[in-house]
Structures are given as structure tokens and as C-alpha cells.
């Protein structure tokens, strides 16, 4: 847990957890969490397991987006992704690849992405988010879900989401699916950035009124939380996927 003073009025408390698939090493994890307190931007990217160099693509998208000050409109995002994709593809040119890596690289890389920028400079804090794929932003208030994007129902998750492609020839179609949204916050509100498996699991909990899933992050220590999520995956209630969660709580300074 880390606490950041963001303005004269508001503080932010963040907590993050990144877990690889069961049976995988931490280095295999293709989910990435990025935080930049200067720009007040936060992002989660989820490299597609079947894609070439997915971890690097997810890393590049998340880290570079939070350091950026634009790419929060569809047009800017499109241009920015195209430039990042070109740099990624250029980085492969010096590699000596086998036939199968060459084939895979030709298609490029893919990742789900969600990024949020907070504005805490006024009495009424607000957020603006951009997302493509199935990594989600959930805005929660006292255990209630106010908004979820780009997907809002657990049944909307499937095995073939439209993702952020590094290959610009695929942008014409994929960029149509970019979701941009915004919202206002109260003190005590929580924003959750989640990769797909956890987002689906969270939404299902909310839909069933099962429990306030955010309580997990309030009450459980890291090791206990990891064990809980491992058990959920072993029991099949949570898909065995890489897991990323970034919890951002907005608190009013006294």
C-alpha cells in the first residue's frame, strides 16, 4: 500500500497485486501495472498469451501511457499506439528468428489496455479513462459498483476480445472499439483497474450480490490475498490467468 498526497484536498492510496498463472513463473506474467503520480495516470495492460512479445507490448503500452500527457482521445490514442507499435516492430529487426517466431512476429503483438487519469485539483475530483480490450476500470462507492468499462457484465468476457494491436494494419477495425468515459468521485471512492479474469470475477460477485469484493483488498494482507486468489483459481471459480489489480482509493485530507 502506498499513499500519495495529490493536492491540498485529496490523497490517494494505492495497492497493487500481480500474479502469474498457476504453474507459471513470475517472469511469465504478461499483465503489467503502471503508476505515475506526477501525471496522476494509472494503467493496466494484459499481453495476449498467444501473441509475439506480448509482455514487452503490454509493458510499453502501460508504462509509456502513464508518462504521457495525451492519448486520452480516440484520435490521439490511435496515433500514439501506431507510433509505439512501429517502435516495437523496429526492435525486432535485429533479432535472428526461427521460422515460427518470424511467422508470429509478422502478425504483431496484442494486449488489452485500460488507463485512467485523475484530476484531484478541485473540490470535486474526477477521472477520465480509455480502454480497449477486456482489462477493466471499476468505479466503486461503499461496496456498490457505479461504473465498469469497457465491459460491464461478467458474461461479456469471451476468448476473442478486440485488443490493442501493434500492427497498424489492424487498427482500422480495432480502434472502433476504443471506449472513453469519465466520472466524478467522492472521498472514499475506489477505482479498480483489473485484467480480464479478475474483472470478470469481480463483476460476477457484484451481479450475485455475493460479497463486496473490494473488502478483500481492505482486509487481507498480500500473502493471504494471494492464497485466496490461488484457491479461487484452483476451484475453477476464477479463471487460471495472469491476475493484475490496481486499487486506487481517493481520500479527503483532514
Partner 1 sequence: MYSAQITRANPTCIVLLLDQSGSMSDPFSGDSARKKSDFVAEVVNHTLHDLVIRCTKTEEVRNYYHVSVIGYGRHVGTCFSGPLGARSLVPIAEVADFPLQVKSSYKRVSDGAGGWVEIPVRYPVWIHPASDGKTPMCEALAKVKEILERWLLDHPRGFPPTVLHLTDGESSDGDPNEIGQQIMSLGTDDGAVLLFNCHISTRRSSKIEYPTDDSSLPDGFARSLFQISSRLPANFLAAAAQLGIHAVEGSRGFVFNGDPSSIVQFYEIGTSLTGMTPYRWMDDRTETA
Using CB under 8 A, list all residues that contact partner 1: 21, 23, 49-50, 52-54, 95, 97-104, 106, 159-160, 168-172, 239-240
Compute CA distances 79 → 71, 72, 168, 174, 236, whole Å. 8, 11, 10, 13, 40
Nearer to partner 1, 176 or 186 (CB): 176
What is the rounded distance in angstroms from the CA atom of residue 192 to the CA atom of residue 202? Answer: 10
CA 197 to chain CA centroid, nearest Å: 11
Minimal distance in Å, beta carbon 152 to partner 1? 22
CB of 51 to partner 1, least distance (A): 9
Query: Which one, 42 or 201, has the nearer CB to partner 1?
Result: 201
Task: Report the nearest approach of partner 1 to the CB of residue 236 (Å).
Answer: 8
User: Nearest to residue 85, comparing CAs of 67, 114, 70, 105?
Assistant: 105
Q: Can you say whether the dihedral through the CA atoms of 84, 90, 94, 98 is positive or negative?
A: positive
Question: How far apart, in whole angstroms, are the C-alpha atoms of residue 197 and residue 218?
Answer: 20
Closer residue to partner 1, CB minimum distance, 56 or 68: 56
Closest distance to partner 1 from the beta carbon of 167 (Å)? 8
* 136-141 sheet: strands from edge to edge: 2-5, 10-19, 243-252, 190-194, 136-141, 144-149
- The CB-of-179 to partner 1 minimum distance in angstroms stands at 21
- In the complex with partner 1, the residue whose CB is nearer, 107 or 251, is 107
In the bound state with partner 1, the residue whose beta carbon lies nearer, of 79 and 104, is 104
Residue 2 or 169 having the CB closest to partner 1: 169
Closest approach of partner 1 to the CB of residue 172, in Å? 5
Peptide bond into 150 cis (omega under 30): yes
Non-local CB neighbours of 113 within 8 Å, separated by 6+ positions: 43, 44, 45, 46, 58, 61, 62, 65, 130, 131, 132, 133, 135, 164
Amino acid at each position: 500500500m502506498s499513499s500519495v498526497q495529490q493536492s491540498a484536498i485529496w490523497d490517494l492510496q494505492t495497492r497493487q497485486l500481480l500474479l502469474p498463472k498457476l504453474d507459471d513463473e513470475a517472469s511469465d506474467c504478461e499483465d503489467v501495472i503502471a503508476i505515475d503520480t506526477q501525471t496522476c495516470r494509472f494503467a493496466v495492460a494484459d499481453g495476449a498469451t498467444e501473441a509475439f512479445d506480448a509482455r514487452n507490448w503490454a509493458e510499453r503500452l502501460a508504462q509509456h501511457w502513464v508518462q504521457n500527457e495525451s492519448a486520452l482521445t480516440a484520435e490521439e490514442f490511435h496515433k500514439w499506439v501506431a507510433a509505439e507499435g512501429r517502435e516495437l516492430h523496429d526492435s525486432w529487426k535485429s533479432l535472428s528468428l526461427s521460422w515460427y517466431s518470424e511467422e508470429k512476429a509478422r502478425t504483431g503483438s496484442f494486449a488489452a489496455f485500460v488507463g485512467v487519469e485523475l484530476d484531484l485539483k478541485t473540490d470535486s475530483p474526477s477521472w477520465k479513462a480509455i480502454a480497449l480490450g477486456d482489462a477493466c476500470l471499476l468505479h466503486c462507492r461503499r461496496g456498490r459498483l457505479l461504473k465498469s468499462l469497457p465491459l460491464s457484465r461478467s458474461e461479456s468476457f469471451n476468448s476473442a476480445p478486440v485488443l490493442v494491436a501493434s500492427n497498424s494494419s489492424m487498427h482500422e477495425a480495432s480502434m472502433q472499439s476504443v471506449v472513453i468515459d469519465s466520472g466524478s468521485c467522492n472521498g472514499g471512492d475506489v477505482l479498480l483497474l483489473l485484467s480480464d479474469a479478475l474483472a470478470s470475477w469481480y463483476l460476477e460477485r457484484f451481479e450475485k450480490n455475493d460479497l463486496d469484493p473490494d473488502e478483500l483488498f481492505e482486509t487481507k494482507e498480500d500473502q493471504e490475498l494471494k492464497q485466496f486468489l490461488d484457491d479461487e483459481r484452483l476451484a475453477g471459480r476464477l479463471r487460471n490467468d495472469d491476475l493484475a489489480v490496481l486499487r486506487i482509493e481517493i481520500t479527503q485530507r483532514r
